[in-house]
Structure 1
Amino acid sequence: MEDLANWIRPIISGLAGGIVVWLLISMTKGSGEVKEGVKVLSYSTPFKIFCGLLIPFSMFVVYAMSQSYKGQEIPAFLVAFGFIAGAIFFPYQAFLTNFAYDEEFIYYKSPLVGRKKEPWENLIDVGYSWLLQSDYIVVDGIGKIWCSNMLNGYAELGEFLEEKIQDLYPDES
């Protein structure tokens, strides 16, 4: 019976994680908030709560990984590193960055690049990161802006970008 429990435990854990992600995405709004004609993309409250809880949970995981058996050091280190990276990246995105846009400009603010306002003509690239499972745009003067599907207004941004790219680069479409 213990073998069955050891076999099924990772499956249940994976399903639970999938359900949490599905719930977070389902609570995301397709359109962002509009302030003074500018569309503001922001993370939902449940996602921000998740990010806040991720920090102490990651500390627990790092502690648990520090108790690994001999021969498990490398996998334990990789798991701990993954949780530490997530505990830094997700709260940074959720709490410390702001992304907004209108027909003419991209507005972005973060501790690393400061407050920026760049015209859409500075759009260099639109892409997708398989590793982070997130879209991004690259803007000259700002750099890479991550556009997660957990952003309120993500769907609306996608539609806007399709039209904007057609306008900016009609020969390449």
Structure 2
Amino acid sequence: MNLVKPVALETSAGIAIIPVTVGHAVMLAALVCHDRDRLNVYLPMVATLSTVEAATAHLERAAVGADEGDVFEWHLFVKDSLCGSVRVRDIDHDDRKASIGYFLGSQFTGKGIATAALQAVLAWCFDTLGLNRIELRCATSNAPSIGVAERLGFVREGLLRQDECLNGVFVDHHVYGLLRTQFRR
């Protein structure tokens, strides 16, 4: 199998989508530290990246995952500010499917950044990786992520009851799917 590497992407809105590197560790730790309490609500694993050491270790693992073709992760930049991340994981080349997730710093939400960045990454996944299906899961109470999924044309396919234990409480997840034939460019 010919392994594909993530590439830099850009949106028409001026969002730079850059493959993660260890050189981003200080910026990532600062972004997460600023929003640690907010991130801990739905993304407790991301909230743990609030130190340079933890961010560095995460970015090193992401580089290994990209080298093996298992996980691709990008950082989102507006001008010179790191504003979030997009991750494609659970890549199944045989069945041509994967999962996608993301986060944004609170100062960057509500500006269309997540929608535009995911649009570009989805196009890359369908075109470059040749995927047929992308799945997005989010807690049923996560209205912003539900909105992003629906704006991008994802179809709500089901409910996973008590799918995740967040801060000691089991929460339900919506499962969304987007097929190549449904993707709006």
Q: TM-score range by the shorter chain?
A: under 0.3
- TM-score, with normalisation over the residues of structure 1? 0.27
Q: Which has the higher strand share?
A: 2
- TM-score, with normalisation over the residues of structure 2? 0.26
Whose radius of gyration is greater, 1 or 2? 1
